[in-house]
Amino acid sequence: MYELFFKKMAEKITLTSAQQDIIKQYLIPKKIRKNQYLLQEGDVAKHAAFVEKGALRAYSVDDRGTEHIIQFAFEGWTISDLYSFLTGEAATYNVDALEDSELVLISKAAQDEILKQIPEYEVYTRLQITGAYLAMQKRLTSILSLSLEERYINLTKLYPNLIQRVPQRMIASYMGLTPETLSRVRRKIKDK
Amino acid sequence: MYELFFKKMAEKITLTSAQQDIIKQYLIPKKIRKNQYLLQEGDVAKHAAFVEKGALRAYSVDDRGTEHIIQFAFEGWTISDLYSFLTGEAATYNVDALEDSELVLISKAAQDEILKQIPEYEVYTRLQITGAYLAMQKRLTSILSLSLEERYINLTKLYPNLIQRVPQRMIASYMGLTPETLSRVRRKIKDK
DNA sequence: TCATTGCGTTGACGCTTATCAATGCGCTTT
DNA sequence: AAAGCGCATTGATAAGCGTCAACGCAATGA
């Protein structure tokens, strides 16, 4: 249990097995079925979720009922409404499972406790959020400066997983497009 | 000197004056004139820059010569090509001054040294990047789910500074629009 | 087996935004 | 004071994307 979780950590910091045992005390394993909610808008995000297996998405719903996908999370990724998780305020978006998934939950209290006891973990969280920041900046700059075709091609290269495991209409939502437009973009690329 | 820099830190962590003195040894003050470059695409980002006074922007230039503004930085903000700063690879964008400015530079080596000597600084950098992440996520979701008018109004509320101190065409670039379109959006809002 | 449902695709149309061009204004420079 | 320049604005037109509608297909269930 927690193999991938510690494997990911080992890529950035070194922990003794005693330290790992301390951390394990605070982790909560959880299985979640496809289409099941992990978090709903209005709830308070009590946990961050590390994905051991499966796939999740975070999304909001606007006035017109349109879904906007904020983030996907596959194996090795962490997902939560970070703002709600940190502040304890109501979540601004929903998180649900795209496939049957296995998660590792970390509560805010657990995270704080681990941060206190294990200085290395502070480094890990800093590096992790830095990576997430850079990835999101890349996503944002690609929206601002690339054509739809370029954006889609980049996405397929960056996350081959995404294309195979996620329905097109969700990819469209992630890109800020209608499914029809994405379908036409794909056609254009194919025709070349 | 460095007043704002330490004031901002004091909002998140507590440092002894001895610790502050250690940090000061690694800081480099720098004045920069309006329109002057701090960093150009292709350079390696050697420093992160904290803005004590003035205003800077980070931007890229695409194939057609169009500028895309990635980030503004006013007093109290930090700016750099984070990716280049961390990896030592060539910068992917430019940073220049919108006004005569006073900066506090921190080199990568200095940062690493401070992180080693002062554990509190690790906490500070983590909280800082987390805040930047959340702000960028907000910017991204507003692009995906709001109308142009809503986005512009939000921007004026969030950063009143921006509207007063930055030319419209740069705000348009920041929003991913042409100056003409932003002008029309502003007109529509005014007419209501 | 047949009906149902959800998804991706395609077509027609309209709205939004980009592009191109022109004007006026304020600021700087000489 | 005059000329030159960058910037914001406005108008006309074109391109891109959203919306609405219809269809085919595969998966699901009666």
Q: Which residues of B touch A86 (CB under 8 A)?
A: 130
CB-nearest partner of A60 from B68, B145, B176:
B145
Which nucleotide lies nearest residue A179, CA to C1'? C8
Protein residues bordering strand D (Cβ below 7 A): A 147-148, 176-178, 180-181; B 167-169, 179-180, 182-184, 186-187
CA of residue A148 to C1' of nucleotide D28, angstroms: 34
Identify whether the C-beta of residue A95 lies closer than 8 Å to the C-beta of residue A39: yes
Residue B192 has pLDDT above 80, yes or no: no
Tokens of B132: 């930047």
Mean pLDDT of the A177-188 span? 96
Q: Which residues have CB under 8 Å from B87's CB, separation 6+?
A: none
Q: Which residues have CB under 8 Å from A161's CB, separation 6+?
A: A55, A74
Mean pLDDT of the B120-130 span? 97
Identify whether the C-beta of residue B113 lies closer than 8 Å to the C-beta of residue B55: no
Mean pLDDT of the A100-115 span? 96
Q: What is the DSSP string of B18-42?
A: HHHHHHHHH-EEEEE-TT-EEE-TT
Tell me how crowded residue A132 is: count the other CB atoms within 10 A of its CB: 19
Q: Among all residues of chain B, which has the CA nearest to that of A128?
A: B126
Query: So what's the pLDDT on residue B168?
Result: 96
Work out the mean pLDDT of chain A and round it to a whole number. 95
Mean pLDDT of the B170-189 span? 97
Q: Which residues of A touch B126 (CB under 8 A)?
A: 122, 125-126, 129
Domains and CATH numbers, chain A: 3-118 (2.60.120.10)
Separation in Å, CA of A141 to nearest CA in chain B:
7
Is the distance between the Cβ of B175 and the closest atom of strand C smaller than 7 Å? no
Give B172's pLDDT tier (boundaries 50, 70, 90). Answer: very high
Mean pLDDT of the A169-181 span? 96
Give A64's pLDDT tier (boundaries 50, 70, 90). Answer: confident
SS3 assignment, position A167: coil
Residue B81 has pLDDT above 80, yes or no: yes
SS3 assignment, position B70: strand
Instruction: Answer positive or negative: Cα dihedral of A110, A113, A117, A118.
Output: positive
Mean pLDDT of the B29-58 span? 94
Dist. CA A107–CA A49, nearest whole Å: 9
Query: So what's the pLDDT on residue B191?
Result: 80
Mean pLDDT of the B89-104 span? 95
Query: So what's the pLDDT on residue A89?
Result: 96
CB-nearest partner of A176 from B82, B123, B143:
B143
Is the distance between the Cβ of A57 and the closest atom of strand C smaller than 7 Å? no
Instruction: Answer positive or negative: Cα dihedral of B125, B130, B135, B136.
Output: positive
Q: Report CB contact under 8 Å: A134, B62.
A: no
Q: Which residues have CB under 8 Å from A186's CB, separation 6+?
A: A152, A168
Residue B87 has pLDDT above 80, yes or no: yes
User: Residues in chain B whose beta carbon is closer than 8 A to a beta carbon of chain A?
Assistant: 60, 62, 66, 68, 70, 82-83, 86, 119, 122-123, 125-126, 129-130, 132-134, 136-137, 139-141, 143-145, 176
Residue A192 has pLDDT above 80, yes or no: no
CA of residue B183 to C1' of nucleotide D3, angstroms: 28
Give A65's pLDDT tier (boundaries 50, 70, 90). Answer: confident
Query: So what's the pLDDT on residue B65?
Result: 85
- Number of H-type helices and E-type strands within chain B: 9, 8
Query: So what's the pLDDT on residue A1?
Result: 85
pLDDT, tens digit, for every residue of A32-51?
Answer: 999 999 999 889 999 999 99
Q: Report CB contact under 8 Å: B130, A129.
A: yes
Query: So what's the pLDDT on residue B63?
Result: 84
Q: How much of chain A, in percent, has pLDDT values that exceed 70? A: 100
Query: So what's the pLDDT on residue A63?
Result: 83
Give A71's pLDDT tier (boundaries 50, 70, 90). Answer: very high
Mean pLDDT of the A161-170 span? 93
Identify whether the C-beta of residue A119 lies closer than 8 Å to the C-beta of residue B170: no
Give B179's pLDDT tier (boundaries 50, 70, 90). Answer: very high
Check: complex ipTM more than 0.90? yes
Mean pLDDT of the B55-84 span? 94
| Cα–Cα distances in angstroms (integers) from residue B86 to residues A18, B19, B48, in the given order | 31, 24, 10
Query: So what's the pLDDT on residue B64?
Result: 84
